[in-house]
Amino acid sequence: MRDLLRVEGLSTRFFTGEGQVNAVESVDFTVRRGEILGIVGESGSGKSVTALSLLDLVESPGEVTAGQLWLRDADLADEFPEAADGSFVDLRELPERVRRSLRGPTFSMIFQDPMSSFNPSLTVGEQIAEAVEVQRRANANPRSTRSRTEGYGLGSYVVDGLLPNRDYTGEESHDRAVELLERVGIPDPEKRVDEYPHEFSGGMLQRAMIAQALAGEPDLLVADEPTTALDVTIQAQILELLRDIQADREMSILLITHDLGVIARMCDRVAVMYAGQIVERGTLEDVFDDPVHPYTEGLIGSIPDLDDPAPRLQPIEGNVPSLLDDEMPRGCYFADRCPKAMAACLEPQAERSVGGKEHAARCVLVDSEYDERDALSEDHPEHDAVADGRGDDA
């Protein structure tokens, strides 16, 4: 499977009143075509911000400050040689207009709470048709202008407001919307297409969101906690739908969740994020079966195992660090909570591959065995400094 997207050294900062928050700290990962990559981590670990950074949806006071986003797109590479490297092109070098044009045909995204992701005053069909229309108009235009609006400014909005018949979405888009609704398994789509979001159940609406995301036949579907807001039975159906679509269209999915069960069930490869960093990544088997990074062990350890009911689940003490730049420790961010923390952990940790395979972790344990004696004693100054440096959630 060839790589679709290579992310290298991605960092995103939020310049808030309280100080600079490092939401994403030089993250590297790759997404292959037709693969489901999972990103797992506690809330506040920066996984959603990573996703938003990919689609250039980070709004002020947030800003992507470093890193390259290499996308395999031959046409773009020819068009923008200065941003190209072989058949890959760095998205961050592309002009904003072009990057926006990728949303839909290349990237698309579905969100956690379907109810708040749809405009309450427009019908679901209209919003899906909109997504289709945007692509149709983009393709109808010469590639250079990529104008998606055909001059649809305030003027035409007012006119549309007054003359109900002339609308942004054409007849053709509406039919496509009905097809999409059917594709995602929504019963009798002709009727449902003209209904409003509040007339849909949570599960139905999530399906509609997926339909909307498919409008542009994206290469990479980013799913940010798609099933978290749904109850378990509906969760399974949605995941099944995603897998079915992914297989059907050779589409890659970047699945972001805090639910290890969803990861285990869906993903080919997985990356574990903690405090804005990817602390461990690799195939599902590597990460789940022999996790290297203590945090991953802690995570995996906190799943009850059906066939071997372990005596007591082990919670990880403490909570996620504040990500405030002046409060973050120099070394491994997990050191203060890590049961195996040692002196070496106080130095900045680079990512080390585990045994040559794709499996890698950002922890000293990759190279050396853990030795009881090296454990940081409770009274070590660094230990305390790190321990009480926590502010509340960024």
Partner 1 sequence: MGSFGRFLLKRSLQGVVVILGVISVLFALRYVTPGSPVDFIAPLDASDATRRRIAESLGLNQPFYVQYGDYVVSLLQGEMGYSYRSRTAVAPRVFAKLPATLELAVAATVVAVILSIPLGVISATRRHTGPDYAATVFSFLGISTPNFWLGVMLVILFAVQFGVFPTSGRPVGLLDALGHLVVIAGPERGWALPLNVGPFLAAMQNWLLHVTLPAITLGTYFTALITRLTRSGMLDELGQGYVQAARAKGLPTTLVRYRHALRNTLIPVITVVGLQLGTLIGGAVITEAVFDWPGLGSLIIDAINNRDWPLIQGSLVVIGAGFVVVNVVVDALYVRLNPRVLE
Q: According to the binding rule CB under 8 A, does residue 141 interact with partner 1? A: no
What does the alpha-carbon distance between residue 310 and residue 245 come to, in Å, rounded to a whole number?
A: 37
Q: Which stretches of the chain are DSSP H helices?
A: 47-54, 74-79, 96-102, 114-117, 124-140, 154-162, 171-183, 189-192, 202-214, 232-249, 260-266, 284-289, 294-301, 381-388
| Distance of closest approach, residue 270 Cβ to partner 1, in angstroms | 23
Compute how many other C-beta atoms are within 10 angstroms of the C-beta atom of residue 185.
Answer: 17
Q: According to the binding rule CB under 8 A, does residue 209 interact with partner 1? A: yes
What does the alpha-carbon distance between residue 341 and residue 304 come to, in Å, rounded to a whole number?
A: 25
Query: According to CB under 8 A, which one of 216, 226, 276, 294 is a site residue for partner 1?
Result: 216
Whichever of 108 and 257 has its CB closer to partner 1, that residue is 108
- Residue 70 is given by DSSP the state E
Q: According to the binding rule CB under 8 A, does residue 118 interact with partner 1? A: yes
What does the alpha-carbon distance between residue 291 and residue 297 come to, in Å, rounded to a whole number?
A: 6
Whichever of 150 and 384 has its CB closer to partner 1, that residue is 150
Closest CA to 316 of 42, 80, 2, 12: 42
Cis omega (within 30 of 0) on the bond before 304? no
What does the alpha-carbon distance between residue 47 and residue 318 come to, in Å, rounded to a whole number?
A: 20
| Distance of closest approach, residue 311 Cβ to partner 1, in angstroms | 42
Query: According to CB under 8 A, which one of 98, 124, 215, 365 is a site residue for partner 1?
Result: 215
Residue with tokens 């344990």: 365
Q: According to the binding rule CB under 8 A, does residue 381 interact with partner 1? A: no
| Distance of closest approach, residue 394 Cβ to partner 1, in angstroms | 18
Residue with tokens 């393709």: 139
Q: What end-to-end distance do the CA atoms of the chain give, in Å?
A: 37
Instruction: Return the range that interacts with partner 1 (CB under 8 A); candidates 18-26, 78-86, 149-157, 237-245.
Output: 149-157
Q: According to the binding rule CB under 8 A, does residue 53 interact with partner 1? A: no
Instruction: Return the range that interacts with partner 1 (CB under 8 A); candidates 18-26, 32-40, 210-218, 329-337.
Output: 210-218
Query: According to CB under 8 A, which one of 11, 212, 227, 349 is a site residue for partner 1?
Result: 212
Q: According to the binding rule CB under 8 A, does residue 228 interact with partner 1? A: no
Q: According to the binding rule CB under 8 A, does residue 196 interact with partner 1? A: yes
> φ, ψ for residue 362 (rounded to 5)?
-100, 70
Total residues contacting partner 1 by CB under 8 A comes to 41
Query: According to CB under 8 A, which one of 1, 74, 122, 313 is a site residue for partner 1?
Result: 122
- Between helix 202-214 and helix 232-249 the angle, nearest 10°, is 20
Q: According to the binding rule CB under 8 A, does residue 296 interact with partner 1? A: no
Cα 291 to chain centroid distance, Å, stands at 22
Query: According to CB under 8 A, which one of 28, 42, 93, 113 is a site residue for partner 1?
Result: 113
Closest CA to 87 of 154, 3, 159: 3
What does the alpha-carbon distance between residue 343 and residue 333 come to, in Å, rounded to a whole number?
A: 13
Instruction: Return the range that interacts with partner 1 (CB under 8 A); candidates 143-151, 246-254, 311-319, 346-354.
Output: 143-151
Print the binding letters for residues 55-84 with partner 1: x by CB under 8 A, - otherwise: x-x---------------------------
| Distance of closest approach, residue 97 Cβ to partner 1, in angstroms | 9
Q: According to the binding rule CB under 8 A, does residue 46 interact with partner 1? A: no
Query: According to CB under 8 A, which one of 7, 10, 84, 134 is a site residue for partner 1?
Result: 134
The contacts of residue 120 (CB under 8 Å, 6+ apart) are: 196, 197, 198
- Give the containing element (helix H, strand E) for 277: strand 277-283
Instruction: Return the range that interacts with partner 1 (CB under 8 A); candidates 132-140, 180-188, 230-238, 243-251.
Output: 132-140
Site residues (CB under 8 A) for partner 1?
Answer: 55, 57, 100-105, 108-109, 111, 113, 116-122, 127, 130-131, 134-135, 138, 147-149, 152-154, 157, 160, 168, 196, 198, 209, 212-213, 215-216
